[in-house]
Structures are given as structure tokens and as C-alpha cells.
Structure 1
Amino acid sequence: MRVTTLRGPSPALWLSATLAALLAWAALYSQLVPFSDWAVSLLPIERHSHLGESVAFFLYDVPKVLLLLVLVVFAMGVVRSFFSPERTRALLAGRREGAGNAMAASLGVLTPFCSCSAVPLFIGFVSAGVPLGVTFSFLIAAPMVNEVALGLLFALLGWKVALTYLGLGLGIAIAAGWVIGRLRLESWLEPWVLRIHAGAVELEEAAPAWPDRIRAGLDSVREIVGRVWYWIIAGIAAGALIHGYAPEDLLAAIMGRDAWWSVPAAVLVGIPMYSNAAGIIPVVEALLGKGAALGTVLAFMMSVIALSLPELIILRKVLSVKLIAVFVGVVGSGILVVGFLFNLLFA
């Protein structure tokens, strides 16, 4: 992508328009919950029925994820006007890759996103040339280990469980991202992402003015959001159905059995579901109250919020099936280890 010099409105006008757009974005984002409640109230369905829960979830998550995607891709497009992908990779690749994985995973802890909400940042990082393994460390940590999950675990299960979960969750995110980075699977990105990932931002001798940088961000939004928006809607639609109709009694029956296969079974059951940490932890509390093993329940929770089917549907527009399989295999293996360890340590 080449940043060219634009003629037209003054830089002050461009910056003012951008600030106004950001304020409008914040206003829209703050009204997502009232909007979804209002929209459902207009429909001839019961709000707390299975269908009502599914529809409310869909009407809330679609604008939320699309708004996040637009903001992140725009910001990364502006950032790319300062740093070429080659320079970004040079800062994070090679001997610094391990540190990059740790930094990305730590950033994920500070962002209370569900897996689908973390996808926009993942796309933005990849398009900016950040190493693939580093972006995966963020994608894993953001939904799985954040302050919401840790706070609820601390309140419900105590500091030992919360701290152990933090350490093991970060370990999975860092190790899984490092392994994927070492495999050098960038060629398994979808071709259109690979072209963005490999492309350089050609800067002219004189640094671009702010109107040029803003235009670069808008171009990124058109190119990336225009390619993935319908995948996002499809993924959230699947998540909405799961959210409204997931059979909790079946889950409790599987995880309540004292058998070695309960941990892998819980992971397999959790993957087709979709929730964030705040939504799944009350289910975790209920399952524990029914006698399910702690490690089995936490493995289920990790699979729901780090390997959800809607997330994989959205990622399919960005990643090849082979790369998605590697991602699921590496992260799933880490989750199994955590589940067995928790069952051993907190028996």
C-alpha cells in the first residue's frame, strides 16, 4: 500500500472530522445494550425465552464486533503509515519473538474481550505485519485470561485457583503462540491477508501529512472490513443459536463423571459453544455445585472462550483450514494439560 499526498481539505479539518467520527463511534458503542433490548421488545417474542436470548445476543454482538473491527483496522491502517511491516517484524521477530509473545499475551489479559471480539485486533495485527505467532498469543489470552475471568474466579473459588489459572492460561497463550510462530505458517494465511501482511507501506521522502495517514486508515477499513463482515455475521449467528439453546443439563452430566475422558469430553463439548468469561463463569459455578471436577470444568470454560465455533467461522476468512486445525490442536493440547493438572492439584 502506498501512502500518497492528498490535496483538498486542510489537516485541521481532517483531524476535526476524525475526532467527530470517533465521538460518534463511542456514542454508538455505549448504546449497544439499550439498542438490543429495544429491538427485541419490538418483536413478538418473549425476551427471556430461548429465541429471545438468541435474538438479543445477535442484535448486540453484530454491531459490537463490527464497530470494534472498524476502529481497530482504521487505527492499524494509520499506524502502518508510520511503520512498514518490515520494520514491525524487525522489532518483534527473531530473538525477540518470545518477548513479543509474552507482551501480546499480557496485553490480552488487560482486554476483556470474548473470542469473536478479539478477532478484529488479530486481523489488525496480522495486516500490520506483526508475526503470526505473536498475534496468536494475543488471540488466545484476550478471551481466556482477563480481569473479568480472574475477578470472578477469585470471588467464587479463591485466590489460589485464580492465580494458578492466570499462570497456566498465560503459559498456554505464550507457548502456543511461540510454537505456531516457530512453525513458520504465514503461507497458510488466506492469500488476500498474505498480500497485506507482506506488503510494505511506501513512504515518500517527506513524511505524509495527517490527511494522508487518515486516508490510509480508511483504505484499510474498506479493504479488510469489506472482505470479512459477512463471515462475522455468520459466526455471530451461530453463536447466538448456541447461546440461547445450549443444553446445560447434558454438560453437567458429562463433566460430573469421574473418568479420565471427562476432560477431553468437556473440551469437545465446549468448542461448539460461545460465550465470554462473565457469561460462562456462572455456568462454571453451577457445574461445580453439581459435583463436576474443577479441572474438567475449567477445561470446558477455556474451550468455550478460547476455541469457540463462531470464532473459528470468522477466522476462516483470514486463515486456511490447515492453519485453523493447527491453532485448535496446539491450544486444545494446552487446555487438556491445564484440565488434568487442576484435577491433580485440587483433587
Structure 2
Amino acid sequence: MAIFEWLNNQLLKMEWLSWLVRLLVEDVFGLSMQTAIGASVHFFIYDVIKIFILLAVLIFTVSWVQSYFPPERTRKILGGMQGFKANLTGALMGTITPFCSCSSIPLFIGFTSSGLPLGVTFSFLISSPLVDLASVILLASIFNWSIAIAYVLVGLVLAVIGGTIISKANMTRYVESFVLHSPVLDIPQAELSRKDRFDFATNQVADIFNRVWVYVLIGVGIGAAIHNWVPESWVSSMLGQDHWWSVLVATLIGVPMYADIFGTLPIAEALVGKGVGLGTALAFMMSVTALSLPSLIMLKKVVKAPLLLLFVGIVVCGIFIIGLLFNAFAYLFI
């Protein structure tokens, strides 16, 4: 356990990096860590570098694994499954795609046009932006492993339940016809060489970095401001753990925003540090990542209003319940 704790602190929490950044802030910049500006500069530099290092390593690893599961192979795996097993597999497949909600929609369209059950594709659509290996590691690096594992489990449960409800509701008629009748090319996947997989993983790292770096900087900046400048009493009065409505407010606030989990984690970290309930902070994070306004606009182009409203309603209610549960049982994780 001592060895595991040391590895966790050095490899995930990167305490060595925090120490180096502290030296930079105090000895080079001449700022005291006891002041708000010094602590904010430390928070910003440390979190940005840590997140980018973890992202590079994790996205490369996940993308290497993903190179063995192209869309056509995924369709074949899921095509022979039905019911709970199919929805669970669809949710699990979403965990190996480190995409934001907008990037997941083209894959959702491809899977739907390939003839996969609608419930399976929605399980994938819910889990893909919400739960992936990178988010697990980042959650563990910011909070702890128990919170990270619990987050993954509830995210998968939400994805499976959401897909099951949509499947039982027989909503296929509310999918735009061009999606259902898109031509699908059944071309055998060529065996990729090690260099091909390396190039694919490297390109994925570059592509995702290009899409998320701005949101990481914004998210860490907001987190640094909340952590060191916003009074704790003000945050607590708005989103305090004692307010039953704080989870609902955090969920609804997150819907219009557009970011991924890498940009919202520092905000969640700062909110928890200010006394906001763990469930409230996670509800905000989940809402931003799973229900961003741009992704809903894109989804509206491929599904009709009744299906879109059902999807949003399921995810909002699910996030609300998850937030309440995390707040109620936070003592088990912290």
C-alpha cells in the first residue's frame, strides 16, 4: 500500500511537479504562496502541465488500443448482441473513445446507419464523452481512486439505463431518414503495422490537443480564480452541500456550456475545495461534458424533437440523481 500510494502521488498527482512549480513561483517569480496571486499562479501552471502530460500519455495509450477497434469491427461485435448485454457493450465501447460530445456524434451516426440498435448507439453516445480512461486517471490524480471508480460505474449505469429506456420506447421513427439509409461500405480492415498504430495514436494526440487545449486553459483559469479569489462563503451560499437544489442548479448551468472533462475537472476541483458538495461539482462536470449546447444542436440535425427531448431528459435526471447520491455518500469517498 505504501508503494502504491507513493506511485499514485508521484505519477498521477505529480507531487514532484507541484514542488518544482512552487520553486518557480517563489524563487523565479518572487511570489509568495501565501498570497492569492501566488497560489493562483501555482494552481494554473501546475494543473495545466499535469493535465497535458497525463493527456498525452493516456490518449496515446487509448488510441493505440482503439486502433484495434475500427467502426466496422465495432459494428460486427455489437451487431450480434441484444438487450442489456448490447447496451452494456455499447457503453463500454464509449469508454475507449476519448472524444468530447460533439466528436462522438459522427460515430453515433455511423453506428446508427450501420444498423445497430438505437439503444446501443445512445448508450455509446452517453458514455463516450462522459467516461474514458483519461477521465478516470485525471479524476484519480485530482481526487482519489475511490471517486474515480465510482464515477466510472455511475457513468456506465447511466449510459446503459438511458440506452435501455430509448430502446424500449421504440424511437427509431424519430431518427432522420438520411441517417437510417446512409450507405455503409463493408470493407475488411487491413492489418495495421506497428508504425501505422504509432502514427494513428500520435495523430490522435495532436488532434485532441488541438481541440481541447483552449478549454483546458480556460477551465484551469476558472479553477484558479475560484480556488483563490472567490470567497468560500459566497460559493457555499450558492452551491453549498446543504442546499438540495444545488445539484439541479449545477446541472442546468452546465448544459449551455461547451467543454470536455479535461477542462471541467479543474473547476470541479476548485468547487470542492470551496466547500461545494462532491455530487454538485461532479453534476456540473457531467452536464457540461454530456449535454453541451453545440452537441445538442448537432444531434438535432439527425434526430427529431421527441427523441432529442427524451435523451436530454434521461441524462439530466440521471445526472441529478447521481449528484444527490454523491452528496449523500461523500463521506465514503473523501
TM-score (norm 2): 0.61
2:80 aligned residue = 91
1:345 aligned residue = 329
Choose from 222, 233, 244 the match for 1:260: 244
Cα deviation for residue 200 of structure 1 reads: 8.7
1:289 aligned residue = 273
Contact 1:254 1:265 in 2 (8 A): no
Q: When the two structures are aligned, how many residues end up with a matched partner?
A: 229
1:164 aligned residue = 150
1:148 aligned residue = 134
Give distance in 2, aligned partners of 1:103 and 1:150. Answer: 18
Contact 2:78 2:90 in 1 (8 A): no
2:309 aligned residue = 325
Give distance in 2, aligned partners of 1:119 and 1:253. Answer: 37
Contact 1:254 1:266 in 2 (8 A): no
Change (3 A) 1:128 1:252: farther
Cα deviation for residue 311 of structure 1 reads: 0.6
One-letter amino acid of the counterpart of residue 281, structure 2: V
| Percent identical | 41
Give distance in 1, aligned partners of 2:125 and 2:118. Answer: 10
Cα deviation for residue 90 of structure 1 reads: 6.0
One-letter amino acid of the counterpart of residue 324, structure 1: L
**Cα deviations by residue, 1:143-193 (Å, 9 ceiling, x for unpaired):** 111112111111121111111111111100111111111111000012322
Contact 1:105 1:137 in 2 (8 A): yes
**Cα deviations by residue, 1:3-34 (Å, 9 ceiling, x for unpaired):** xxxxxxxxxxxxxxxxxxxxxxxxxxxxxxxx
One-letter amino acid of the counterpart of residue 335, structure 1: I
* Larger RCO (alpha carbons 8 Å, 6+ apart): 1
Cα deviation for residue 255 of structure 1 reads: 2.4
SS at match of 2:272: helix
Change (3 A) 1:251 1:185: farther
Give distance in 1, aligned partners of 2:181 and 2:235. Answer: 42
Give distance in 2, aligned partners of 1:108 and 1:253. Answer: 37
Change (3 A) 1:282 1:97: same
Change (3 A) 1:269 1:252: farther
Give distance in 2, aligned partners of 1:171 and 1:334. Answer: 9
Change (3 A) 1:281 1:88: closer
Contact 1:189 1:319 in 2 (8 A): yes
TM-score (norm 1): 0.59
Contact 1:276 1:305 in 2 (8 A): yes
1:124 aligned residue = 110
Cα deviation for residue 290 of structure 1 reads: 1.4
Contact 1:187 1:194 in 2 (8 A): no
One-letter amino acid of the counterpart of residue 148, structure 1: A
Give distance in 2, aligned partners of 1:131 and 1:88. Answer: 13
Quick check: 252-261 or 306-315, which moved more? 252-261
Give distance in 2, aligned partners of 1:288 and 1:162. Answer: 15
Change (3 A) 1:309 1:89: same
**Cα deviations by residue, 1:295-327 (Å, 9 ceiling, x for unpaired):** 011111111101111110111110112111000
Give distance in 2, aligned partners of 1:271 and 1:308. Answer: 5
Give ranges in structure 1 of 5+ residues lacking alignment: 1-71, 211-235
